[in-house]
Chains A and B, each alone.
Chain A
């Protein structure tokens, strides 16, 4: 679901085909019939943006028929835990959970806590600004006093136990409701339920694959939560053939979250400190709470080792290991906030590395206007992309909004070395690091990222040398002592430093369990610790699959500690025996007193299944022998998230920010905590209960083609790829084509309140209309790879999309919006602006549109608006 794996991940899809050849059933749930659907056993068309309703329907099916894997659920999830009496569900509050504050559009999650944990009130707006939940990362958030035992009902009957709360929350997600919301006929939906549940249990497992079709929604994190709940109820987590597979958007995007390029994270999912963290101890207490179970209990060792890696000898116990040198975040510094701040003149310089926001980011127009208002812009890319040339060829040149002679931004373009011109690692979705050797020397001025930043850092340090200004200390104190080969920093040395080093012996450490909080070890990313164990680049291993076991432990290296299946303790029952011979993965060997199996056990090797923690234990010691989810604060997988999410403890169907229909389940129309940016240059199409939604009557979604690479920087310059998909097109069903007078291969243009974009029409049976609550809903699809330059040029599809973001991780809702489509080309020049303005006028759009996010209860649609202070010079 939410994944077009065959087209976006064709190499990985070979394994799906292999599984299919061995008898696996492949089901593809997607708004369109894609190349993935063509190879699936079943395609299910659903309305874009309604996946939680569909998944909630599956949860309802499982719970109402008692089809969950009960022993697994009871042992390894928080299903038996009791919630406190203050918790109120969306069923009680018309689509809101308890703790909602309409003025900040955020939750105080304290009422979601377990019964026994003493929850404090925690206003949620600051967490939302910083996308705080994402900062919990691999660890999950804390629950207080978890190790002391949480009130539970192992019979799962108590009305306040998670199992019963879940059941009630999804009670109205019936097949009939799924049909009315998603447009999926109930028989088809029930077929999927049957296939999923029949292929799960002791003897069988089912895998769930998603991609950015799930994440890029205003409820994106909850989509994945919903999928995870099903997989947990059916016992498909931590077991062979099970799991939830997040297919990432690029090679090594997993790597760039592990060692993050995100404003709110440090390497290894350690949170970025914020302005309230006075010292290291205060920061660490926020990460590893005293009394908490699990391996985050050792966060001090991970953090201190990271600081030692950054600042080397300058980092000492006396100066808090230079903790004060770390930057602090004080709000939303995400990419869209930054683009708006660029427009508003608050940002002066910008680095773009392998990113083409002028084409590839939502609201391309906002991105380009922002970049046109900088002092300087550095672009490092393989090709001269639109984000480096917007000052002379952006669409805004034609409309007169950017004038080349007056554009103030000084652009520095640096040609980048490609992946074959440098060595390093890719980290893919299985958390596997695979080393690649350099194949050829970069030509001309092309240089690696490593080269660029190493020398940039070196030159900045030299420039600041001798400075006594306190603000220069963080740079001056940096160790910055990586080994070089010629003038190229050694990627292997960097990987070794990421692995971690015992500073006493100078040897690479064997894994994160060897890291210390006393400054005697340095480690660039604790979860990667072990990748250079025994002074061997483990990511470079290439033992053939024919020469090793089925889990291929000697091909590359996966974090953590080369475990191929995360939480694989759950592949065995609480007593340590595999749930079935067929699905055996790891198990307890009582004779030798250790965990063993086909994979590296994701559990302390010698901790027996019947281990019970002593009174007052915390950290790893507090984990019982059957606490399979060793990173969670209570050792259990969370069906219900008592803390850690800004938009609710359970996934709930909300309509997208822009939707043609009213939410059929609740008065609350859309995610009540979604982040809106109400400003003139970021208008929204109206959605119920607002009026005039009929001006944009169709559902729009955009995605990729196999033939092109994201924003086209790596494909539109290449003849062999451009000729395969030479032009921007828009796919419509024959039914919509008839309704709007669109003819195959003729021009049409798609309109939203942001822009009008023209494309050639492709009429295809691969799109079908849906019946949603008695009316026909048409969906329009476009690929988004084109821009004004290159061999294959075209309009920028992302210009159609506005900025509204998910509150947990600040991802944009770019997978679903509303639009109009008309035959013929769009107007050109300033007439284009007038044309779009005409649409806004007809739809009654103001900066307030879409910003009254609270619509539950009485006073429908009259919750407070969440707008930004307007700037007088903004043109309408």
Chain B
């Protein structure tokens, strides 16, 4: 780290990228209005954002296969970052009463009850006088209730999703008439992905969002004007405006702690190392090993999410080991940064703007000719 990045410096508001004045035009090489890359694999987003000397990119590897759903991450995050309480609502989404990430929930532990086995786990239902699963019905009740539950403007996305997987409640597949024989309970702590190509950052008109020297993406509350472009710019539905405040808020990867040489509060609080923090390269290696290990142990459904630098956001700074399709956890299956097409769009928009400018000038010329009243 350079001196500039040492602890005890000024607030994050003064440490944005070195270069932040937007160019007027998108570049033909696929780079954005600020001169940085908008899509595709990118080795070093901090450098791309103009940090000439910087520490290695850091992030989270959240291994949901060891998450015990204690929610210590949610509490530690709120305590450290002074995030307000956001609703005392029993949501009925299993043990999840947070519902989703939002302006006042920067960590969110999803709980998913499913009628299918986990690897070689035995849920102990075989031989019990069970009837059909109740999960489908509870999901309907929850969905109805959620429509009436204000959650900071967003829609809740982590309710149980029926993906039509083969389950043993299918007629004829069960031991008795529709008896449930399998069960598993998935837990996963979700967080801002700190994308390699961050839609929120790329659409922010004020420069409130910036890429830190650690490669993370942070909102500066003293600059944010609450326009909300970032909310629709996030392919994951992470960033959100806080009711009564209006500004956009999200996980900062504990930027202040990183600058003080500490790991983020959630990772430190996690008792089972489900949330692992470190240099992204190391985390990716560790995740690959863990995946291999789980596959060997018979947990064939394990997969990595956000690990691939070739995906629609250039890979996530916070990526996950999941035990089911991402939709089950409320994660989009194939997130694409909405600014992917910005360079080409920008060209069209620029052309249109030029045409508009010409037309407007023509109007003034004409009216100028007519004189003012």
Contacts and interface: CB of A to CB of B under 8 A. Distances in A.
A41 B72 CA distance: 24
Interface in A753-797: 760, 762-766, 768-771, 776, 791-792
A188 interface: yes
Interface stretch (B50-58, B86-94, B254-262, B330-338): B86-94
A702 interface: no
Nearest to A734: B134
Contacts of A43: 121-124
Interface of B is mostly: loop
A766 B71 CA distance: 19
A185 interface: yes
Interface string B270-292: 01110000000000000000000
B97 A723 contact: yes
Interface in B111-166: 113, 115, 118, 120-135, 137-138, 141-142, 145
Contacts of B271: 10-11, 13-14
A743 interface: yes
A765 B141 contact: no
Nearest to A17: B272
A618 interface: no
A768 B130 contact: yes
Contacts of A771: 128-129
A491 B133 CA distance: 55
Given A764-B134, A765-B113, A745 B145 contact: yes
Given A43-B123, A725-B97, A771-B128, A734 B133 contact: yes
Interface string B65-107: 0101111101100110000111111101011011000000000
Contact of A722 (B88, B113, B128, B133): B88
Contact of B68 (A38, A725, A791): A38
Contact of B273 (A14, A36, A42): A14
Contacts of B121: 40-43
B272 A14 contact: yes
Interface in A721-764: 721-727, 729, 733-735, 737-738, 743-745, 760, 762-764
Nearest to B180: A765
A45 interface: yes
A775 to B, nearest CB: 9
B183 A720 contact: no
Contacts of A763: 134, 137-138
Nearest to B86: A723
Nearest to B123: A43
B128 A41 contact: no
B141 to A, nearest CB: 4
A727 B90 contact: yes
A762 B113 contact: no
Given A33-B183, A37-B185, A44 B124 contact: yes
A745 B90 contact: yes
B74 A724 contact: yes
A765 B115 contact: yes
A706 B270 CA distance: 13
Contact of B185 (A11, A721, A744, A766): A766
A594 interface: no
B62 to A, nearest CB: 15
B125 to A, nearest CB: 6
Nearest to A12: B271
A39 B89 contact: no
A35 interface: yes
B303 to A, nearest CB: 19
Contact of B92 (A21, A38, A745, A776): A745
B187 interface: yes
Nearest to B68: A6
Contacts of B138: 744, 762-764
A593 to B, nearest CB: 44
Which range holds the interface residue count of chain A? Answer: 35 or more
Interface string B224-245: 0000000000000000000000
Nearest to B74: A724
A324 interface: no
Interface residues of B, number: 55
Contacts of B183: 33, 765-766
A734 B131 contact: yes
Contacts of B66: 17, 21, 39
Contacts of B25: none
Contacts of B94: 764
A45 B137 contact: no
Nearest to B140: A744
Interface in B297-354: none
Contact of A723 (B98, B118, B120, B125): B98
A39 B121 CA distance: 9
B27 interface: no
A719 B113 CA distance: 26
Contacts of B97: 723-726
Contacts of B75: 720-721, 724
A38 B113 CA distance: 10
A187 interface: yes
A743 B138 CA distance: 8
A734 B132 contact: yes
- A188, A705, A737, A765 interface centre (most CB from chain B within 10 Å): A765
A183 interface: yes
B129 A769 contact: yes
Contacts of B125: 45, 768
Contacts of B5: none
A188 B86 CA distance: 44
- B74, B84, B98, B134 interface centre (most CB from chain A within 10 Å): B134
Contacts of B31: none
Contacts of A722: 85, 88
B134 A776 contact: no
Contacts of B87: 723, 726
Interface in A17-61: 17, 21, 33, 35-45
A723 B124 contact: no
B128 to A, nearest CB: 5
A187 B89 CA distance: 42
Interface in A346-403: none
Given A39-B66, A737-B134, A771-B129, A10 B90 contact: no
B20 interface: no
Contacts of B184: 38
Interface string A123-141: 0000000000000000000
A45 B124 contact: yes
Contacts of A21: 66
Contact of B70 (A6, A42, A760): A6
Given A6-B70, A735-B130, A764-B138, A720 B85 contact: yes
B170 to A, nearest CB: 16
Contacts of B72: 10
B128 A770 contact: yes
A13 B187 CA distance: 15
Contacts of B86: 723
Interface string A703-726: 001110000000000011111111
14 contacts: A7-B70, A43-B121, A188-B122, A188-B126, A720-B74, A723-B86, A726-B90, A735-B130, A735-B131, A738-B131, A744-B141, A744-B142, A765-B113, A791-B88
Given A45-B128, A738-B131, A743-B141, 11 more contacts: A38-B187, A43-B122, A721-B75, A723-B87, A725-B95, A726-B87, A734-B133, A762-B92, A765-B133, A766-B183, A776-B129
Interface of A: 6-7, 10-11, 13-14, 17, 21, 33, 35-45, 183, 185, 187-188, 191, 705-707, 719-727, 729, 733-735, 737-738, 743-745, 760, 762-766, 768-771, 776, 791-792
Interface of B: 66, 68-72, 74-75, 78-79, 84-90, 92, 94-95, 97-98, 113, 115, 118, 120-135, 137-138, 141-142, 145, 180, 183-187, 271-273
What 10 pairs across the A-B complex have the smallest Cβ distances?
A734-B134, A185-B127, A719-B85, A726-B88, A38-B185, A727-B90, A10-B70, A744-B141, A6-B68, A43-B124
